[in-house]
């Protein structure tokens, strides 16, 4: 049976996330910002924020006082990290909406930075019937529960959904609960995959 419902990931599918942009201006370059990210273990800490931990608590694990102070500015600088859309996928969203295809979303995203993300991309608050944000639920992809929660809240069956994500592990997680899955690489490939399923 072909899916009739599309479930989107957001980061690297609809919105381009570049964390170095939070501090590149302050530190003078993208290279310096990347060095800050590396020495503070930011990516691992951010993953924990995606699972519901507060950035203020995570900052306490940054040992250098100057780095800790800079880390604490992340939420206020977050809009800079998501200023760009991923090329081509919003056009696909509009085509799906024009065809009355139901759209939902599951994103690994901090509850604290989500409001800042909406300031950069307000349509994210408009296009989904149901949206599950990991930081609010304190669970993240590819845990089975987050896909099941989406289905419960949207009142849909997994087998009626196709899930799109740039992460293969997350696609596999969706398929393990009964969804169809598309590994996102670029908009052209996504359009082909959706067309093959009769959704575009």
pLDDT tens digits, residue range 41-73?
999 999 999 999 999 999 999 999 999 999 999
Token pair of 154 as six digits: 């949207």
User: What value does the mean pLDDT take over residues 11-39?
Assistant: 98
Average pLDDT, the chain: 98
According to CATH, what is the number of the domain 5-16+84-196? 3.40.50.1000
The full set of domain ranges for the chain reads: 5-16+84-196, 19-81
Contact of 25 with 100, CB cutoff 8 Å: no
Kindly tell me if the per-residue pLDDT of 1 is higher than 90: no
Contact of 130 with 104, CB cutoff 8 Å: yes
pTM: 0.97
As a whole number of angstroms, the distance between CA 134 and CA 160 comes to 22
pLDDT at 152 (0 to 100): 98
pLDDT at 51 (0 to 100): 98
Question: In what order do the strands lie in the sheet containing 5-8?
Answer: 131-133, 103-107, 5-8, 161-165, 180-183
């Amino acid at each position: 049976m072909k899916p009739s419902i599309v479930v989107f990931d957001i980061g690297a599918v609809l919105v381009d996330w570049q964390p170095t942009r939070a501090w590149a201006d302050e530190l003078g370059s993208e290279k310096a910002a990347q060095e800050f990210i590396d020495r503070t273990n930011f990516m691992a800490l951010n993953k924990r924020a995606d699972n519901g931990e507060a950035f203020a608590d995570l900052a306490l694990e940054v040992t250098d006082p100057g780095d800790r102070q800079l880390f604490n500015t992340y939420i206020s600088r977050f809009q800079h990290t998501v200023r760009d859309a991923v090329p081509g996928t919003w056009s696909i969203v509009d085509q799906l909406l024009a065809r009355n295809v139901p759209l939902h979303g599951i994103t690994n995203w901090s509850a604290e930075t989500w409001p800042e993300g909406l300031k950069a991309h307000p349509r994210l608050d408009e296009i989904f019937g149901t949206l599950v944000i990991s930081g609010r639920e304190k669970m993240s992809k590819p845990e089975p529960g987050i896909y099941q929660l989406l289905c419960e809240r949207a009142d849909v069956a997994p087998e009626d959904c196709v899930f799109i994500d740039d992460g293969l592990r997350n696609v596999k997680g969706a398929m393990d609960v009964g969804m169809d899955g598309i590994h996102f690489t670029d908009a052209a490939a996504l359009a082909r995959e959706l067309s093959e399923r009769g959704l575009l």
